Every structure is written in C-alpha cells, then in structure tokens.
C-alpha cells in the first residue's frame, strides 16, 4: 500500500461529486468538489461518496479522456487477455513474455496502485458513514455495497500478488500507517470472504441495475471458492444463485449483451462498469476496432468449433478456403475477421492497418461506425454475468460428483443459447472438465477472464510458454511469475520510512 503522504489524499476522490445525488445518481452529471468540512452529513453526501467508489470500475479509459488511465481497467479490461493465448498487445509485453520485474510498470504496478486507491476510498467511506443522517436499514445496504467493492479489489490483489497489506481503516499521517506489513494470502482471502458474505447477507435480492446486489456477491463468493479449490461450496453457492432465479441468460442476442441498447435491464448482467455519455465515456469503439493495439490470436480463433460441435480439425463442415463459415456464432460476434465489413462498409484487411495477428476484437464495440475519432463510447463493461455462474457451477459440480445431469444442463444452456449443439452424453469427469474449460474460453473470450482461469487451473505455466506472438517471439513463463512483485516504488517508500516488515514477493 502507498506509504507516501501524497498518495494518502484519496479522500479528495471520495469528496468529488462525480454525479449528482438521488435515486439514479449513477446516471447523473458531475458536481463541483465539496468541502470536507461540510461533507458526511446527508444522504446526498453518502450517495456522492458511494458513486466515487463505483467510479473505480471505469478507471480504465474513463470519463476524462483515453490517455488519462491505462489498459486493464473499465473499457480497457480486454487487455488482460493479452497475458494469455487469447490475444496480443505491446502494452503488457514485458508481463506477457515473462520479462516482468518490480519496475515493469503498466499492469504490474497499476493493478497494485489502483486497487489500493479503491480500498482506501472504501475504508474512508466505512469510517464516516455513521455520521450521515439516514435510515439504518439503508445505511446497512450502503455498507454492504462498499464492503463488496473492497473485497473485490482485495481479491484481485491476492490473486496477483499473494500476500497484501490488509487494513480496514483509512491510513493517516501517524507513524503506524507507515509500518504495515503484508498479511499472508490466506488471511487476505479470509477477509475477502468476510466482505463478500456480509454483502450477500445485506444487499437486496433483486436484479442488477448498476448497484451490486445479493447475486453479485454470491457470484464472487463462487469465484473465491473456485480459486481455493473448494468445489463443493462453489457448486452450492452457484446453485443458490440459480435457484433464487433473479438472473437468466439473455435471449436477445449474444452480441447485444455487450452493446448499450441490449444492456438496459439485461437479466444476465450481474456486475459491470457503467458508462454514461457525455460525462462517463470510453473510446472503446476506436480502441478495439479501429486500432491494432489489441489483437486476438489465431489460437483463440481456431478453438471455436464448427456448428456441428466438432473442432475444425475433425469437422466436415470446416473449409480452409472459407474458414469462418459454419462456425460457432460466438466467433463472428467476438472477433473481427478478414473480409467482414466495418468502418461503415469497408472490408477488414489486417495488413492495411498493421494487425499482424490477423484479427481485431469485436466484443463490446460497435464496429459499424464510419467515424470514430473522438467517439464517446457508452457501452458498459461486464465483469460478471449469469453464463459465467452456470459455467462455474458446472466446473465445481463436475469436480465434486462428475458429469451428472445438472452439469450437462448448465453447459448446454450456455451452448444452445447461441444455437450450438448439446455436449455428447456419457463423458467422464476428465472429459467434461476439458469441455467446460473450452466453453469458458469461448463464452467469455475477450472479457478479461482467461488469465485468472489459467492461474486457478494451474495451467498458466503450461499454456503460456507455447504461445508465439505475431513477431515470432515465443513467450515464457518463469515459475516466479505465478505471483507478481509489488512495485519497486513501494519497496523504496517503505525503506525510506524504516519499515522492515514490508517485504517483496518471494522470488523477487
């Protein structure tokens, strides 16, 4: 965590009224900065502070301009895919190729710094919400939302860095704030579970409309159980979401899940970063469809089955001369392939724009726009949806009891939603595991999920070294890369304050 006093001013972020208050304050316009001497008095103050915390979900290419924040966050979430066999980018090249160091920067430091800024904002909120005049029941809901978001960022830190500074109070200028060490990863995850459980018990059990709800928390409890390989509890928690029936697969078209009109009151979306033009926008349409800064790889494209459910290596429907015909519909909904019209009617030619991998991302972008320089994209970025819950259930239940009927039902619901055939009957646990992992890759492609899937499956060090980038360079995955180093600047600050218990990640 930041020990430098200049980074201790996150209260400013909380006091900035990014949107006006009221029932729909997430969709209102910015106000001017409020004085801390008059803040934390009314429900309107609590609304503004809560909105500032939610704004961290769109910190990547957010409401200011495209150069103000980095890849990996908000609309920049797909850049996580470039750390896997799904995509390529120069943005995270050091991390992707195994050349990561404590001084690498980009996502290696952004994931640390952004998470702790959000956590500090949450702790400030928790320390002050009791001062606000409001109904106790409503206050408890606000606390549950903030505890979920705090847990969300600690969960990210634990997955990436392992041990983490764990604090539940705002950090001040007192000497003790400069002498904190890193708590063991298991302790951090216990804290995350506590925050998620409190949220699940105190949030409304309703559909998602921009504020986290019970189902959101239960979904991340499921993810946490999967991460620690507690498959029985993961299956049970996912089943609770399914049984309570607040969410369902969207029937309006897979591609529309990721474009604004289809996202309004969408029954599948359970957690997202929400954009609202003109004040909260991203350059997603330009960034992914009109720029070659992020390119899906052929490894992903080739993994999409043909419409008969067979891989391209064995399906009679596959024609190398027309390789994108007769394929899983999610391919053309996710990947811009050569020859497809975009930019208002131009056929995509990878060579013409320097897309050396041969493809561009299409998920979550309107590739039909004719003019996009300066476009303010408003589509929300989805972090959790019901299809993910179904696949998590299938994965966990398969590990517990094997490929029973409920596992088939969950996987087949996701596949048949896009018109793909059901999975062959009679699969063993191992065979079904392979099917589920494939389905997660295809269904959730370009959503920033695969890196974390590979980590918890323990296949990151197997899959990643087999990836060849468009440059021809092979990636590597040193064992130490399983957990990242904290930024060197943190080590330097701790040393400057004589903190001898704040230690670098093992192996670094």
Pick the CATH number of 5-202+484-493 from 3.40.50.150, 1.25.40.390, 3.40.50.2300, 1.10.10.10: 1.25.40.390
- The residue with greater pLDDT, 317 or 346, is 317
Percent of the chain topping pLDDT 70: 89
Residue 362 has pLDDT above 50, yes or no: yes
Write down the residue that tokens 């596992």 correspond to: 407
Binned at pLDDT 50, 70 and 90, residue 60 comes out as low
- From 128, 124, 129, select the one nearest 150 (Cα to Cα): 124
Report the DSSP pairing between strands 341-342 and 346-347: antiparallel
- Any idea where the domains of the chain sit in the sequence? 5-202+484-493
- The residue with greater pLDDT, 322 or 175, is 322
- The residue with greater pLDDT, 423 or 75, is 423
Residue 30 has pLDDT above 80, yes or no: no
Element (H, E) at 361: strand 360-361
Query: What DSSP character marks residue 334?
Result: H
State the Cα–Cα distance between residues 165 and 143, nearest whole angstrom. 21
Q: Is the dihedral of CA 262, 264, 265, 271 positive or negative?
A: positive
What are the residues facing 346 on neighbouring strands? 342
- From 303, 368, 357, select the one nearest 330 (Cα to Cα): 303
Per-residue model confidence (pLDDT) at position 375 = 67
Q: How many residues does the chain have?
A: 508
339: tokens are 């020859």
The pLDDT tens digits of the residues spanning 140-156 come to: 999 999 999 999 999 99
Q: Phi first, then psi: what are they for 327, rounded to 5°?
A: -115, 160
The pLDDT tens digits of the residues spanning 213-229 come to: 999 999 999 999 999 99
179: tokens are 């002498």
- From 67, 393, 51, 64, select the one nearest 222 (Cα to Cα): 393
Sorted by sequence, the CB contacts under 8 Å of residue 492 that are 6+ apart come out as: none
The pLDDT tens digits of the residues spanning 429-472 come to: 999 999 999 999 999 999 999 999 999 999 999 999 999 999 88
Q: What's the pTM? A: 0.92
């Amino acid at each position: 965590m930041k020990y430098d006093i200049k980074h201790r001013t996150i209260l400013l972020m909380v006091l900035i009224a990014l949107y006006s208050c009221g029932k729909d304050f997430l969709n209102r316009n910015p106000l001017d900065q409020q004085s801390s001497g008059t803040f934390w008095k009314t429900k309107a103050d609590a609304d503004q502070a809560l909105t500032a915390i939610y704004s961290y979900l769109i910190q990547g290419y957010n409401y200011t301009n495209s150069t103000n924040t980095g890849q990996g966050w908000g609309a920049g979430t797909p850049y996580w895919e470039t750390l896997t066999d799904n995509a390529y980018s120069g943005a995270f090249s050091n991390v992707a190729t195994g050349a990561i160091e404590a001084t690498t920067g980009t996502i290696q430091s952004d994931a640390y710094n952004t998470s702790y800024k959000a956590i500090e904002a949450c702790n400030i909120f928790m320390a002050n919400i009791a001062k606000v005049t409001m109904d106790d029941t409503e206050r408890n809901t606000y606390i549950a939302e903030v505890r979920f978001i705090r847990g969300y960022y600690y969960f990210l830190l634990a997955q990436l860095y392992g041990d983490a500074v764990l604090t539940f109070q705002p950090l001040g200028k007192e000497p003790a704030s400069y002498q904190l060490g890193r708590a063991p990863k298991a302790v951090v995850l216990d804290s995350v579970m506590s925050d998620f459980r409190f949220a699940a018990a105190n949030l409304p059990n309703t559909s998602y409309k921009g504020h986290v709800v019970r189902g959101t928390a239960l979904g991340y409890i499921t993810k946490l159980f999967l991460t620690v390989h507690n498959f029985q509890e993961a299956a049970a928690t996912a089943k609770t979401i399914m049984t309570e029936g607040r969410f369902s697969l969207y029937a309006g078209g897979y591609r529309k899940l990721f474009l604004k009109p289809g996202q309004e009151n969408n029954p599948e979306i359970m957690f997202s970063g929400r954009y609202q033009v003109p004040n909260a926008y991203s350059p997603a349409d330009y960034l992914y469809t009109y720029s070659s800064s992020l390119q899906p790889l052929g490894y992903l494209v080739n993994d999409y089955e043909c419409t008969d459910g067979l891989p391209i290596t064995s399906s009679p429907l596959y024609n190398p001369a027309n390789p994108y015909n007769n394929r899983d519909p999610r391919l053309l909904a996710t990947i811009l392939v050569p020859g497809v019209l975009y930019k208002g009617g131009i056929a995509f030619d990878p060579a013409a724009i320097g897309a050396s991998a041969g493809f561009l991302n299409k998920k979550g972008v309107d590739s039909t726009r004719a003019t996009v320089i300066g476009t303010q994209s408003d589509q929300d970025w989805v972090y959790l949806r019901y299809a993910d819950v179904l696949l998590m259930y299938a994965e966990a239940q398969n590990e517990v009891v094997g490929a029973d009927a409920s596992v088939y039902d969950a996987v087949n619901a996701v596949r048949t939603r896009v018109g793909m055939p059901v999975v062959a009957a009679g699969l063993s646990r191992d065979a079904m595991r392979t099917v589920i992992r494939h389905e997660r890759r295809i269904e959730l492609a370009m959503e920033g999920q695969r890196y974390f899937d590979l980590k918890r499956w323990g296949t990151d060090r197997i899959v990643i070294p087999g990836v060849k980038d468009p440059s021809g360079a092979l990636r590597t995955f040193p064992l130490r890369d399983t957990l990242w180093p904290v930024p060197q600047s943190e080590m330097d600050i701790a040393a400057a304050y004589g903190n001898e218990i704040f230690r670098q990640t093992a192996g670094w």
